[in-house]
Amino acid sequence: MKTLVGALLLAVSAQAQTDPTLMTVNGIPVSRSEFEYSYNKNNSEGVIDKKSVEEYVDLFVNYKLKVVAALDERIDTTQAFLNEFAQYRDQQIRPMLITDEDVETEARQIYNRTQHYVDSLGGLVKPAHILLSLSQKADNAQQQAIKQRADSIYQALVGGADFADMARRFSDDKSTAPGGGELPWIQPGQTVKAFEQAAYALKVGEMSKPVLSDFGYHIILLKDKANFFPYDSLRADIITFIERRGIKESIMDRKVKELATAAGKDTKTYMDDKAKEFAAKDAELNNLIREYHDGLLLFEISNREVWDRAAKDEAGLKNYFKKNKKKYAWEQPRFKGIAYRCRDKEDVKRVQKAIKKLPFDQWADCLRTTFNADSVLRIRVEKGIFKEGDNSLIDRDGFKKKGVAVTPLTDYPYEAVYGKVLKAPKEYTDVKNQVTADYQDELEKAWVESLRRRYPVTIDRAVLSTVNKH
């Protein structure tokens, strides 16, 4: 027993030496390999804003602090989180549970079913044909002309004319005519019924009379007959078929159920156990699963604390804009309003009257329900905050620029603009996207500062100095 305990202690000690703890965040250890995985992934070749290890430490700590906050909020226990995480994790684990033999077995089964179906209906046929095309809209005279031509060619063939030569000269199937009319191997259900029935009724070397199908008249020569192709000649195509049609997912579904049943577990428990087992053996997989786990937590907690909060905090956005108004000054004036075109002259003033007393964000709904609720659109409108050059009608009638050419719309001959020129934004909604982004940054900064005060972080500088150098 002492020998076993000693061996275990040595193994743990060796692991600690090969992958030491680089930092702790609220008492949770972070190994050097975890940090390296994140650093290297986010600073690979092609990344524009590469960070040094020292520069990346702060970003990584902030990331881990948010994950800890999400764990404190017990987001990882919600059913929505558990379902989404398990779905992603299982996408990584499930393929590891099936073997090449499982796929091979499925391929064999697909082949056997197809082989039985094809051979039971007559196997494969290899025909050649001469096609005289006939439009389905052809009148009686055209139909008779094509039929007579087909009969004439048939009689020439019966009289000894060479089939391949006649196909090259007269067949309207330009894809097969150069090859003497020869088609690839055909199986039941692969072509139109009239052609198939005629081809399968022939003996090898036998020729049909003209056969009418949806494409026109065919004269068919049966070149060969055979049973279904051998498995080895189709194996690669069947494997590709399995991959592309999602059949591999069905194989994995069955395998997971079989393995779980054999282990006496439900599928969820079985997959949980397998994920732990595989991750313990594969550092890359372990990092990938942890990254997704923590990434889901980060997204949800950030949405709660920053993104969704900022988007819904109208009072906060207004206040932020008021305090930072100079930050959003424009280099040139803007026109806040609409450029519109009407079918009827009377609607020009009606549009202005309809929206005159409404807030700007309600104009679009009002105009749509008042003027364009029916199938016939009475007006065409472009609404927004425009700078010079954005809209020619706004340039001419809003900014009063002379010499601006406006392309008229034939169905909407009456043009007008409504709104006002602003030298600077008057309210936060005039620059809403910018204000929202900046307000989110402010919330993010305050949140991170509170997390740093709330949760202790320790960094082993000696271990940090060995990142990517061991």
pLDDT in 10s for each residue of the chain, 470 residues? 333 333 333 333 444 468 999 999 999 999 999 999 999 999 988 888 889 999 999 999 999 999 999 999 999 999 999 999 999 999 999 999 999 999 999 999 999 999 999 999 999 999 999 999 998 888 999 999 999 999 999 999 999 999 999 999 999 999 999 999 999 999 999 999 999 999 999 999 999 999 999 999 999 999 999 999 999 999 999 999 999 988 999 999 999 999 999 999 999 999 999 999 999 999 999 999 999 999 999 999 999 999 999 999 999 999 999 999 999 999 999 999 999 999 999 999 999 999 999 999 999 999 999 999 888 899 999 999 999 999 999 999 999 999 999 999 999 999 999 999 999 999 999 999 999 999 999 999 999 999 999 999 999 999 999 999 98
pTM comes to 0.73
- Beta carbons within 8 Å of 184's beta carbon, 6+ residues apart: 126
- Distance separating alpha carbons of residues 228 and 124, to the nearest angstrom: 6
Helix (H) or strand (E) run with residue 240 in it: helix 231-244
Tokens of 86: 């398990």
Q: Say which residues have a Cβ less than 8 Å from residue 404's Cβ, sequence separation at least 6.
A: 392, 395, 396
CB 339 within 8 A of CB 417: yes
